[in-house]
Amino acid sequence: MKLVIAVIKPFKLDEVRDALVAVGVHGMTASEVKGYGRQKGHTEIYRGAEYAVNFLPKIRIEVAVPSERVAVVVDAIIASAKTGQIGDGKIFVTAIDQAVRIRTGETDVDAL
Amino acid sequence: MEREINHPRRLAAVAVLALAATPAWAEDAAGKIDPADTAWMISATGLVLMMTIPGLALFYCGMVRKKNVLATMAQSFACTALCSLLWFIVGYTLSFVGDGSWLGTFERLFLRNIGMDATSPFAPTIPELLFVVYQMTFAIITVALVAGAVADRMRFSAFLWFAAGWLIVVYVPIAHWVWGGGFLARAGLLDFAGGTVVHLNAGIAGLVAAYVVGKRHGYGTDNFSPYDLSLAVIGTGLLWVGWLGFNGGSALGANSRAVFAITATHLAASSGALTWMFLEWWTRGKPSVLGMITGAVAGLGTITPASGFVLPWHGVVIGLIAGAVCFCACTWLKRCLGYDDSLDVFGVHGIGGVTGTLLTGVFAVAALSASPDAPGSSGLLEGNPRQLLIQLYGVVAVLLWSGVLTYILLKVIAFLIPLRVSEQHEIEGLDLTQHGEALQ
């Protein structure tokens, strides 16, 4: 089992969700986060006063998938979240030690 | 087109037409209440009150940080209640009763001796009580304007003392000098709706208050970006619409002069907004919403003293100058002088008030203020350079009185109670520390 964590542009969330549903992903968790990478924020100007906004709003989605599905899921996220502009985000993949569905007590791949 | 209108014979024709259309306005101080004038002035009073609550409250609160939104609204709201009562008790009588050079009398203390048929010599065709309430709304907004300079850091209790004291020792005398038959009125100062009394007065007081209270914690280093500019946009819309009653109502009757004032006002707001927008687009790369609304308010403040003395095209030019001058004041002058006037009361209203008062001396058209007894007031363009000097005299007098008395008043209050909140409370936010409430 792997956990795919993707940090994407907020307006891309619906497209990414549709793409993941299309490749058979049944569920995901999304949260509003702030962060920066190469995009490094932007400058806002109010009546001549300039403020550097370092942390930009992003959406972080988490998807737990069987190990053999990782490549398909990652490709789907890349295809749907990509604009080609700086600030498109990143994808991280980590291992999951255990998964449990609370309602039924099912474990691991059955719980995904 | 403009040149044609400016021709003296054309002006005379305009004057005759205007007078013929508005017998109520042309009448001398006979004191006969006119229903049309009364109806318009009741409406105008509502419009001007709307400028402070909720207009100015929204305009100001949208520009501060989330933790100070309610506290900023509270200043406008408390100002409205407090200044209304003070105006009832002593403000009106000291401003508009009696013929002293410096101050009125106590004859109308607590609005005594005002009967059903009473009229004021300053507004002979409407009930005196209506004139009282109309002028009350001007006093309210002037004090509320000053609050913008000390937003984010002044203690609420200190602000209430300041608002009460400032109304009595600064606003009331100046209103009397300019509008109540005092020495500036006798000198011939032209201030139709408050370039000196309201805007310059509030602007210079804001500058002094910003210096005395001191800079906000983190000024120049921390991010002070506005909580919600959409609130400020709504506030500006209410100010703009209300301003038609502010300047149009200053004709004190339902007449052509009110319509000239409304037209010039609206055009000045429009050209002020566009000027600021294009200047910012050109110098900073983007036409910001805050820039557009600030330009509109700059145009409105600047046209105020001139509105009942000028033609529509003068309004366009005055708004254009206002947008440019106030833009420079807020973006360049402010940085040079190093003061922290939180919401640019000085940069917009102070600078706008000076500019507008002086431009009134340039553009004033005699036909608009002419009556059967008097020829009306001409400005520089009509060959009367002396008017510009009188305007300058008025600016200096108001600037000195407002600046010095604001300083003294703040020092006296500071001697009794702290003017600003503690640094810890400032960081925590005024909503929670001053009012025990917060936006979630």
Q: Could you please report the per-residue DSSP string of B382-405? A: GT-HHHHHHHHHHHHHHHHHHHHH
Q: Is the CB of residue B140 less than 8 Å from the CB of residue B85? A: no
Instruction: State the alpha helices, DSSP H only, in B285-381.
Output: 289-303, 312-328, 334-337, 351-363, 366-369
Helix (H) or strand (E) holding B343: none
CA atoms within 13 A on the CB side of B78: 17
How many domains would you assign to chain A? 1
Q: What is the mean pLDDT of residues B311-337?
A: 96
Residue B29: pLDDT above 50?
no
User: Mean pLDDT in chain A?
Assistant: 93
The reply to whether B323 touches chain A by the CB within 8 Å rule is: no
Beta bridge partners of A52: A43
The reply to whether A43 touches chain B by the CB within 8 Å rule is: no
Closest CA to B297 of B231, B254, B238: B238
Q: CB A49 to CB B286 under 8 A? A: no
Looking up tokens 């507008």 gives: B356
| Residue B280 to residue B287: CA distance in whole angstroms | 6
User: Mean pLDDT in chain B?
Assistant: 93
- Output the furthest CA–CA distance in chain B (Å, rounded): 67
Give me the residues of A, 46-85, that contact B with CB < 8 A.
46-49, 51-53
Mutate to test the interface with A, among B225, B280, B328, B339 (most CBs of A within 10 A): B225
**CB-CB: which of B225, B332, B347 is closest to A46?**
B225
Helix (H) or strand (E) holding A13: helix A13-22
Q: What residues in B contact A47, CB-CB < 8 Å?
A: 290-291, 294, 330-331, 344, 347
Residue B329: pLDDT above 50?
yes
Q: Is the CB of residue A8 less than 8 Å from the CB of residue A59? A: yes
Q: What is the mean pLDDT of residues A66-76?
A: 96
**Residues spanned by the domain of A61:** 2-111
Q: CB A53 to CB B225 under 8 A? A: yes
Q: What residues in A contact B286, CB-CB < 8 Å?
A: 45
- pLDDT tier at B11, thresholds 50, 70, 90: very low
What is the torsional sign of CA B245, B248, B252, B253?
Answer: negative
**Which pLDDT value is given to residue B2?**
37
Residue B39: pLDDT above 90?
yes
What digits encode the pLDDT tens for the residues B53-89? Answer: 999 999 999 999 999 999 999 999 999 999 999 999 9
Q: Supply the CATH number for residue A43's domain.
A: 3.30.70.120
| Residue A50 to residue B21: CA distance in whole angstroms | 53
Contacts for B282 with CB less than 8 Å, ≥ 6 apart:
none
What digits encode the pLDDT tens for the residues B368-407? Answer: 999 888 889 999 999 999 999 999 999 999 999 999 999 9
Q: Which residue has the higher pLDDT, B174 or B21?
A: B174
Residue B31: pLDDT above 80?
no
Q: What is the mean pLDDT of residues A50-78?
A: 94
What pTM was estimated for this model as a whole? 0.87
Q: CB B225 to CB A47 under 8 A? A: no
In order of B51, B58, B391, the CA distances from B246 in angstroms are 9, 18, 21
Contacts for B359 with CB less than 8 Å, ≥ 6 apart:
B302, B306, B318, B321
- pLDDT tier at B17, thresholds 50, 70, 90: very low
Residue B12: pLDDT above 60?
no
**Which pLDDT value is given to residue A38?**
83
Q: CB A45 to CB B225 under 8 A? A: no
Class (C level, CATH) for B2-435: mainly alpha
Q: What is the mean pLDDT of residues A17-33?
A: 95
**Which pLDDT value is given to residue B372?**
87
Q: What is the mean pLDDT of residues B92-113?
A: 96
- pLDDT tier at B409, thresholds 50, 70, 90: very high
Q: Is the CB of residue B416 less than 8 Å from the CB of residue B221? A: no
Q: Is the CB of residue A27 less than 8 Å from the CB of residue A21? A: no
- Output the furthest CA–CA distance in chain A (Å, rounded): 59
**Which pLDDT value is given to residue B30?**
52
| Residue B180 to residue B178: CA distance in whole angstroms | 6
Q: Which of B7-21, B298-312, B366-380 bottoms out in mean pLDDT, i.e. has the lowest?
A: B7-21
